[in-house]
């Protein structure tokens, strides 16, 4: 019930306006969002790199309905690539198809994605196409597979909550596409997604094993310590080297666990979001993990 409420509030304009203009909530959001500018994100990346953590940079924004906004988003992603190259930080980037015009036309979106991938190719910097709600799952997989035929440095994200994910993982593995596995942060109907956490977790473990055995440098994105321990054991039992996969976690969440895994020799990448469009992202993080909501509320009260 709490998760459903928070996901509803993520789309509520009135609550959004209150939160983004509230001094306390804006300040607390910096625990989970690096800041509103690329400079903020680069500074956060340097700090994480100094602790032997890799980074994936994400300029927040989604569902643009104007072609010029989509073109501007593509230029923003290119600016991130430039800054990574100029500063020498250890980072790749994540992009969202709806920020690049998918709601306007798939052709426009693919033109923008292609421009980003062409620009990233010489560096080379890996580009991850983020997964969004279920309305975009088929298009996201389709665009990724098509782009991968031309650019090896592109991958995508699969959500274990979705019924279709096993088939998608099999297809992506067959084509050698790198996959980030997540549980899923969107409210989805029972017709397309598992509704019980236990079912989502079980499917995550099944897909995780498949990716560890057959995938191309899979990224296991989770803060669930029991699943992380299961992944480590499965890798050991099957002779899978620690350098053959990576764990991924969100900026500001389970920093203790991030460092523990690094100290054990595992590759860990932190997903670092930034930008002015931080409200929907923050609400989804609250919905995923009640401890995050407790942190935000307690800090907001103290401010």
Return the structure tokens found at 243. Answer: 């350098």
Any idea which residue has 């560096």 for tokens?
123
146 among known catalytic residues: no
Residues 6+ apart with CB under 8 A from 147: 110, 113, 114, 117, 129, 154
Residues 6+ apart with CB under 8 A from 11: 280
Catalytic one of 180, 269, 284, 285: 180
Catalytic one of 58, 103, 130, 201: 130
Angle at 82 between CA 80 and CA 85, to 5 degrees: 110
Q: What is the distance between the alpha carbons of residues 255 and 301, in angstroms, rounded to a whole number?
A: 23
Q: What is the distance between the alpha carbons of residues 117 and 92, in angstroms, rounded to a whole number?
A: 12
Q: What is the distance between the alpha carbons of residues 239 and 237, in angstroms, rounded to a whole number?
A: 6
Any idea which residue has 């798939």 for tokens?
106
Q: What is the distance between the alpha carbons of residues 158 and 181, in angstroms, rounded to a whole number?
A: 5
236 among known catalytic residues: no
Residues tagged active-site: 130, 180
């Amino acid at each position: 019930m709490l998760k459903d409420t928070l996901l509803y509030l993520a789309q509520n304009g009135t609550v959004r306006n209150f939160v983004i203009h509230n001094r306390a909530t804006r300040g607390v959001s910096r625990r989970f969002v690096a800041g509103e500018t690329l400079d903020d994100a680069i500074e956060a990346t340097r700090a994480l790199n100094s602790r032997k953590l890799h980074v994936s940079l994400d300029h927040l924004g989604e569902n643009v309905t104007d072609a010029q906004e989509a073109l501007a988003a593509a230029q923003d992603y290119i600016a991130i690539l430039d800054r990574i190259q100029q500063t020498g930080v250890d980072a790749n980037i994540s992009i969202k198809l709806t920020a690049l015009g998918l709601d306007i036309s798939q052709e426009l979106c693919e033109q923008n994605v292609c421009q980003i991938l062409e620009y990233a190719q010489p560096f080379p910097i890996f580009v991850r196409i983020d997964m969004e709600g279920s309305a975009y799952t088929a298009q996201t997989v389709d665009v990724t597979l098509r782009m991968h035929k031309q650019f090896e440095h592109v991958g995508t994200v699969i959500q274990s909550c979705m019924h279709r994910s096993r088939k998608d993982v099999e297809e992506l593995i067959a084509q050698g596409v790198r996959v980030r596995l997540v549980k899923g942060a969107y409210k989805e109907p029972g017709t397309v997604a598992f509704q019980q956490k236990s079912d989502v977790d079980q499917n995550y473990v099944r897909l995780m094993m498949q990716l560890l055995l057959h995938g191309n440098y899979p990224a296991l994105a989770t803060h669930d310590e029991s699943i992380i321990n299961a992944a480590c054991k499965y890798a050991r039992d099957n002779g899978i080297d620690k350098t053959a996969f990576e764990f991924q976690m969100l900026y500001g969440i389970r920093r203790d666990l991030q460092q523990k895994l690094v100290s054990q020799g595992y590759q860990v990448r932190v997903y670092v979001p930034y930008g002015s469009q931080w409200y929907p992202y923050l609400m989804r993080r609250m919905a995923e993990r009640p401890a995050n909501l407790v942190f935000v509320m307690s800090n907001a009260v103290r401010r």
